[in-house]
Each structure stands twice: as C-alpha cells, then as structure tokens.
Chain A
C-alpha cells in the first residue's frame, strides 16, 4: 500500500502502534484526506470470548492527534462463551468500512470524552480498548 498521502502525525501514530505491539501485522490504507484506515492482526481478547483472537480495525483521521480514534472493529463472529450477550459498548452486525471493501464486523465504541491530544496516542487508545474488552 502507498503511504505518500498520509499526514506526518498519522504516520507517526502508525509507527507508534508498530512499536507498542511488536509482531502485530498492520494493513494500512490511506484515506483521501491525509488519514489512514488501519487493520491490525491480531490480538488475544481473552478466553471468555469465542474466537479468543481477533483482528482490530480503526480509522485515524487527518486531524489526529486532536481527533479521537473510535470506534474499533473486531471479527464479526465475536460472542461470549457463556452465551450471554456481549453487552454495553459492543455493537454486533456492523461493518468495517474501508476503501478495500466493507466487511462484517463487531463494532466496539469507546469514546474518550476528556482526551488529551498531547498524551493519548493511537497505540494507547488501542491498548485501552483491548484492556476494556478483556475485562468484560
């Protein structure tokens, strides 16, 4: 994938994700505005889920780091092993919409209402979302 149209702040965010999650493979697709669609393969979500591992996808927009990064998308077949509903914050039957095509996904929406652009990176946000899912 080309990355020549991705803004410097967004590229830096992608590099930080690579550093924070060594071994995780990233698919990067530039949007038309300087941002990027990112799909990361893959993460352990916890043994309470089936499947226990999933990719995570999200969009970093051109006004990063001022803009929040949400929602995050995960595999569409995600469910709890105990049969209970996924619960608040999870939105099954959604789609990861990106230039390469739309794919079925489970949406996880975690807004950062008092986000500090100076300290909250895309990598930190991803780590927080993964921690939150694992704690469900």
Chain B
C-alpha cells in the first residue's frame, strides 16, 4: 500500500519559509493532518501547521542537535486527539534533492513514538524530514512503521517531493510522441500515474473522458446513473443509435418502448468503450451511481483530480466537499444558454471552466455563492412535494445544450488539469480564477474568487471539514 502526503501551497510556503530561512540551521514544526485510507493508499492531508519557535519550542536536544520539548509535544498531541487529527513532527536537513532521517532521528522515534501512538489511540502519527527539494517520512501505528512514498504540494501547479529523485522509464509510447515533445517522457509518466474522477458522463463528461484518455491518463473513475437517450446523441461522444435502442423506443407499443428504455446503454458503458478504444491500457472504472450517495462519493476520495460535469446543486456540494475535505484539485464545467421567455431570442450564451483548488481563494464554490441553499432544498424534494410547493417558478423544462459550448468548457478545464498535473503554469502570470467564454462576444473573461474564513469547506474554523479526510462526513445521503 502506498503512503503519501498532500499539503496545499499556502501552508507549504509558510512551512518552507520557516524551515529554510537561509541560515543553514535546523528548524522544527508540526503538521496536523487528516487522513484517507483506501485499499491501495493511505494519504495524509495537511490541515494545520505549528511552527516551533527556535530556542522555545525547538531547543538543544539531550540525544541529538535539536528537539521539541516534552510539554510542547504533549500539548499538541493532546490537541490532535481532541480534533481527531494525525500528529507529525517535522524538521529539516541540508541538501537539495535527497534526504533521510539520521540514526539519531530514528533512535528518537524508537524512544518516543510508541507512547505517542498510544496517546493517539493507535495513530497513525509520524515524522517528516525536509531538504530543499525532498522529503522523507516515517509513519507509526500499533501495527508497525511505514515509509512515506511521496508528498504532493497542491497549488495552481502540482509539485512532487520524494526522498530521492524517482527513476523514470525512458520509453514513451509512440502514440504520445508529439505531445511528449512538449512535456517530455517524465510528463507522460506522470500522466500515466494519475487517477482522475469524472462526475457525470453526459455531454461535458464524455468529452473530458476522451481528452483524458488521449492524453494518456492512467486511471479514470467515472460516475453516472443515467442511460442514453436519443436526445443525448448530439453531445455524448462515441455514442451510436444502438446505445439508445432507438428502434425499440420508436415502437407504437408502450411495452416495447419501456423495454427500449431499460435496454439503453449506460453512459458509463459508452465512456468505457471510448476510453478503451483510445487507449487499451487505461484502467477505467465506471460506477453506475450518484455522488449524492455516500458509497459512490467515497469511490472518489483518492483521485488526484476531479471533474464535475453534472449540473445538479447536490452534486456540486458533494464535489466541493471532496475537493476541500480530501485536498483534491478539481474543475467544474458547464454551459448556459439564456433565452428571452417572450421573444425566444438569445440573450446570453456562455461556457464556464471553474478551477476549484483546495486552499484559501482557490475557488471554493460555497464562498462564491455558486451552491444556492434554496436549490439544494428544492432538489431534495420528491416530485409530489415539488409540484405541491411550486408557486412561482416555471415548470421544469429541458435546458438548451450544444456540443460546441460544452467543448469550450471541457477543453479549457482539461487543459488546466494538464498544466496543473505537469506543473506547466507560469505562476508569475497565471491565476486560479474562474474562466467564462461568452460565445456571442467571442471573448474569455476571468472572475476573481472570494474566500470566507467561516466557510465550512475551505475555512479555518474548527467546524470546517478542510483536510479532515475520512475523519469528517460528506454531505451525502445515508
């Protein structure tokens, strides 16, 4: 099982400045983390850092050069128990691209960590040691110890740290030759080792799926509960007449039409077929489900990037929670065609690609009022309740949807994913803003993102689920 760590760029920069102020000396800190555990990976999620003050909280050691005093360790390990977080002791060494614990470090773990594991009700707890561009870690539980495989810094760019430079295979499939001329074999290797989630495999999600597979993404988890209909065929890439059971659905007999509805292909099946045709080596897992159910949402806890291509507010809330609770960078994509109700004339046509990154100001959909509380309530009603309680709003009608509008948002968001994963953004110029394309004006516009300290997803209060991982609940149905 892999053991990894994720930390957002705002916390990491603070930690980095503290550990490496330019004096060449050793400095200390704590990371207090949530955790997500799946069959394949244990991933720690940095929620808070505590900077140990030199001479007060980080002092000359009895056994080694520096140490954290016992009362400091006791205070913060007890805090972690109360807050249900994992305690990590952090210090720095010299060097750049490789790092490891010294014998003195390992001996101090042996002396102190069995007691810390007990205080933490079995852990996990641990220690990290950083060099300028490297990190090593040791994780302790009652069952034993594990080494950290890698740490990811989540910002506009994704940065990876290892205990020593990883070996990258020198071979790149000719299928990816032209794109690897842009980002090299190492980029292709990173894509092949990336796991991506897609919520919704309709008009937008089917395009994202195709783009990801052709880029060479190694693993895709797609979630959709829906079946194909004839009216989807103009937008769902890779779909055909047989997927919609058109000949049955056009029958004059009701029972045959019903058979046609039941036999129509699932959208996840169409996506899987498209994925395997484009890249037979892709690991595609289609989930016939709905992320508003806990068991389906939990399948996305360990992805490296998450696309929201569904248009319900309930899915939007679950997506936003997954991004912030599990530190998963994501993108929400959509398009809207607004029509004057009286004249039928087009008033506004736009596509959106909203990057949602798990740090303050990273585009939280709650902070930016993109998940209306009233809509959430409305979507929870049964059809009977909704009909009874509707008194002002119009009857529900299908919204206009066009493949080219979907493609604008899907291409922008998937390109953002590519540049994020491979660290290609120019950080002196790029911002993590929302992008909107206004088709009638032929123009892209950016919208700055707000952040609220009290936000229950991205905020810093005790009530926030930020980076709590499995130790907080998702806003899903039981």
A interface residues (Cβ-Cβ under 8 A, vs B): 5, 7-9, 32-35, 59, 61-63, 65-71, 91, 94-95, 97, 107, 109, 111-119
Please indicate the chain B residues that have their CB under 8 angstroms from the CB of A63 in the complex. Answer: 314, 317, 376, 380, 475
Q: Is the CB of A70 within 8 A of B391?
A: no
> Inside 8 A of B475's CB, which chain A residues have their CB?
62-63, 66
Contact: B376 with A68, CB < 8 Å? yes
Query: Are A35 and B454 within 8 A (Cβ)?
Result: no
Complex contact A67–B373 (CB within 8 A): yes
Interface pair A62/B478, CB less than 8 Å apart? yes
Q: How far is the CA of A69 from the CA of B374 in the complex (A)?
A: 8
Whether B478 contacts A34 by the Cβ 8 Å rule is: yes
Let me know if B376 and A113 touch, CB within 8 A.
no
Cross-interface CB contact of B377 among A9, A32, A68, cutoff 8 Å: A68
* Interfacial chain B residues near A67, Cβ < 8 Å: 373, 376-377, 380
Whether A61 contacts B377 by the Cβ 8 Å rule is yes
Stretch at the interface among B220-228, B234-242, B456-464: B456-464
Docked complex Cα distance between A48 and B81 (Å): 54
Q: Which of A5, A61, A65, A112 contacts B456 (CB 8 A)?
A: A65
Instruction: Given A61-B377, A66-B366, A70-B374, decide whether A107 and B389 contact each other with a Cβ distance below 8 A.
Output: yes
User: A118 is contacted by which of B380, B389, B459 (Cβ under 8 Å)?
Assistant: B459
Given contacts A34-B478, A118-B454, A118-B463, contact A66 B389 (CB under 8 A): no
**Shortest beta-carbon distance, A1 to chain B, in Å?**
16
In the complex, are the beta carbons of B317 and A62 less than 8 A apart?
no
Chain B residues contacting A7 (CB-CB under 8 Å) are 473, 478
Given A63-B314, A63-B475, A97-B388, output 16 extra A-B contacts at Cβ < 8 Å.
Answer: A7-B473, A32-B477, A32-B478, A33-B477, A62-B475, A66-B366, A66-B371, A66-B475, A67-B377, A67-B380, A69-B377, A71-B389, A95-B388, A117-B366, A117-B373, A117-B456
Query: Known: A7-B478, A34-B477. Is A66-B373 also a contact (CB below 8 A)?
Result: yes
Minimal beta-carbon separation of B340 from chain A (angstroms): 23
Given the complex of chains A and B, what is the CA–CA distance between A118 and B382 in angstroms?
A: 26
Top 3 closest pairs, chain A to chain B, by CB: A67-B376, A68-B373, A61-B380
Instruction: Say yes or no for B49: interface residue by CB 8 A criterion.
Output: no
Specify which chain B residues have a CB less than 8 angstroms from the CB of A91 in the assembled complex.
Answer: 391
Q: Which residues of A contact B366 (CB under 8 A)?
A: 66, 117
With a 10 A CB-CB cut-off, give which of A35, A111, A113, A117 has the most chain B CB atoms: A117
CB distance from B360 to the nearest CB of A (A): 15
Flag if A61 contacts B376 (CB, 8 Å): yes
Number of B residues, CB within 8 Å of A: 28
Per-residue interface assignment for chain B, residues 449 to 470, with 1 indicating a CB less than 8 Å from any chain A CB and 0 otherwise: 0000011100101010000000
How far in angstroms is the closest Cβ of chain A from B331? 21
CB-defined contacts of B388 to chain A, threshold 8 Å: 94-95, 97
Which residues of B sit under 8 angstroms from A117, Cβ to Cβ? 366, 373, 456
For B374, give its contact among A35, A59, A111 (CB under 8 Å): A111
A9: min CB distance to chain B, Å = 8
**Would you call B73 an interface residue if the criterion is a C-beta within 8 Å of the partner chain's C-beta atoms?**
no
B476 CB–A CB distance under 8 Å = yes
Q: Please judge, given known A-B contacts A97-B388, A107-B389, whether A62 and B477 are in contact too, CB under 8 Å.
A: yes
With the chains together, A110 CA to B369 CA distance in Å? 19
A119: chain B residues at CB < 8 Å are 454
Q: Are A118 and B374 CB-contacts (below 8 A) given A35-B380, A62-B380, A91-B391?
A: no
Q: Which chain A residues lie closer than 8 Å to B377 at the CB level?
A: 61, 67-70
Interfacial chain A residues near B376, Cβ < 8 Å = 61, 63, 66-68
C-alpha spacing A71/B392, complex, angstroms: 13
A114 to B476, CA, bound (A): 22
Q: How far is the CB of A61 from chain B (nearest CB, A)?
A: 4
A34: chain B residues at CB < 8 Å are 476-478
CB pair B476 A62 closer than 8 Å: yes
Closest residue of A by beta carbon distance from B385: A97
- Chain B residues with CB under 8 Å of A35's CB are 380
Does B384 touch A at the CB level, under 8 Å? yes
CB distance from A58 to the nearest CB of B (A): 10
Complex CA distance for A94 and B454, rounded to whole angstroms:
37
On whether the beta carbons of A116 and B391 are closer than 8 Å, the reply is: no
Q: In chain B, what residue has the closest Cβ to A119? A: B454
Which A residues are in CB contact (< 8 Å) with B380?
A: 33, 35, 59, 61-63, 67
Rounded to whole Å, the gap between the CB of B374 and the closest CB of chain A is 5
Cβ distance A82 to chain B, nearest Cβ, rounded Å: 24
Of all chain B residues, the one with the shortest Cβ separation from A116 is B454
| Complex contacts, B373 vs chain A, CB 8 Å | 66-68, 112, 115, 117
Note all chain A residues with C-beta closer than 8 A to B456. Answer: 65-66, 117-118
- Bound-state CA distance A111–B388 (Å) is 16
Given contacts A67-B376, A109-B389, A109-B391, whether A33 and B478 have CB atoms under 8 Å apart is yes
Query: Which of B307-360 touch A at CB < 8 Å?
Result: 314, 317
A66 interface neighbour in B317, B391, B459, B461, Cβ under 8 Å: B317
- Which residue among A70, A91, A118 has the maximum number of chain B CB atoms within 10 Å of its CB? A118
Bound-state CA distance A66–B376 (Å) is: 8
B89 to chain A, nearest CB (A): 32
Chain A residue numbers with a CB within 8 Å of B385 are 97
Q: Report the nearest A residue to B320, measured CB to CB.
A: A66
Closest B residue by C-beta to A30: B478
- Cα–Cα distance between A116 and B391 once the two chains are bound (Å): 25
- Bound CA span A109–B378, Å: 12
Chain B residues lying within 8 Å of A65, measured Cβ to Cβ, are: 456
- Shortest Cβ distance from residue A128 to the other chain B in the assembled complex, whole angstroms: 14
